[in-house]
Structure 1
Amino acid sequence: MKENNENRCGEGLKALGTATRYADDYAPEVLETFTNKHPGNDYWVQFNCPEFTSLCPITGQPDFAEIRIQYVPAEKMVESKSLKLYLFSFRNHGDFHEDCVNIIMKDLVRLMEPKYIEVTGIFTPRGGISIYPFANYGQPGTKYEKLAEHRFMNHNM
């Protein structure tokens, strides 16, 4: 019971309330969770990161984007400062836009095991072309798997 209370109150979290230390490269290990106080409720949590940057793996030039993360939590939720540090860790990481979005989604699925999650990257145009990758996931064998399929099939930027 003590561990559960510590997690609920935010105790035991490493990033929140401490001096901010930024990773030099992709750092999924900085992600932290806390206990969802309402796991029986279906509700949306959305994060917008309008200052996401990564590097083109070919040219090394920076790419800029807004990353939008929406999810329906199950038992665990991502702590927002650790998410910020995680997203900032892409600044010196070279990957294509589509890779960044899929990596973010997969890391968050592993971390939280959410009922449903989607990640969208709205990347600033380079060479006159905008790229907006979208990836989503719903827990297999549940209504959230059907939600993922529906949202994927009806996705339109």
Structure 2
Amino acid sequence: MSRNSKELEGITLLGNQNVKYEYSYTPEVLEVFENKHIENDYWVKFNCPEFTTLCPMTGQPDFATIYIKYIPDVKMVESKSLKLYLLSFRNQGDFHEDVVNIIMKDLIKLMQPRYIEVWGKFLPRGGISIDPYCNYGKPDTKYETLAWHRMQEHDLHSLEKIDNR
């Protein structure tokens, strides 16, 4: 089944060979498309094992795997634009906890998902790793309850498997 031009309206980066790569925070690069299965609840998960940002104090690079999981509503994030957006953190100086919250808030503003969570698993620096997690569920819906439940249960029942360090 091929996509018609109406479905691809607003998607400018996918298939574009002349993309300009930004290395400073650029949320404007994010693009969306319509969820064709709005009647279904389903998960979309992105793993970015080569995420980099800068320590705001030392300017040294911080490396992480960023996990983004969401249940879409009307709009979905286009994956190439997400890749370019995540790349735009390369020269941004933010603490690890700020990074995951900025990513989540930008994606909420863009898509208004039913539910979203962002988890950063950062490589150790100075002998310690930091793995911040944040989530959001649409207020006054079952997704708000889901967010609270997942926050309470986050990383509680499984032995953590660190696959990026």
Scaled to the shorter chain, the TM-score interval is over 0.9
Supply the RMSD in Å over aligned alpha carbons.
Answer: 1.1
Question: Structure 1 pair 11/75, CA: closer, same or farther in 2 (3 Å)?
Answer: same
Residue in structure 2 matched with residue 41 of structure 1 by the alignment:
40
| Alignment check: 8 A CA contact 2:10 2:32 kept | no
Question: Structure 1 pair 62/76, CA: closer, same or farther in 2 (3 Å)?
Answer: same
What's the CA shift for 1:11? 4.0
Matches within 5 A, 1:137-156: 137-156=136-155
| Alignment check: 8 A CA contact 2:22 2:88 kept | yes
What's the CA shift for 1:21? 1.2
For residues 48 and 7 of structure 1, what CA distance do their matches in structure 2 show? 29
TM-score by length of structure 1 reads 0.94
Give a deviation string over 1:66-97, Cα, whole Å, max 9, x none: 00000000000000000000000000000000
Question: Structure 1 pair 6/24, CA: closer, same or farther in 2 (3 Å)?
Answer: same
Matches within 5 A, 1:8-157: 8=7, 10-18=8-16, 19-156=18-155
| Alignment check: 8 A CA contact 2:10 2:31 kept | no
What's the CA shift for 1:12? 3.2
Residue in structure 1 matched with residue 5 of structure 2 by the alignment:
6
Q: Which 5+ residue runs of structure 2 have no aligned equivalent? A: 161-165
For residues 6 and 106 of structure 1, what CA distance do their matches in structure 2 show? 29
How many equivalent pairs are there? 152
Q: How high is the sequence identity, in percent, across the aligned residues?
A: 67
Question: Structure 1 pair 58/7, CA: closer, same or farther in 2 (3 Å)?
Answer: farther
Q: Which is helix-richer, 1 or 2?
A: 1
Report runs of 4+ in structure 1 exceeding 4 Å deviation: none
Q: Which amino acid aligns with 2:22?
A: A
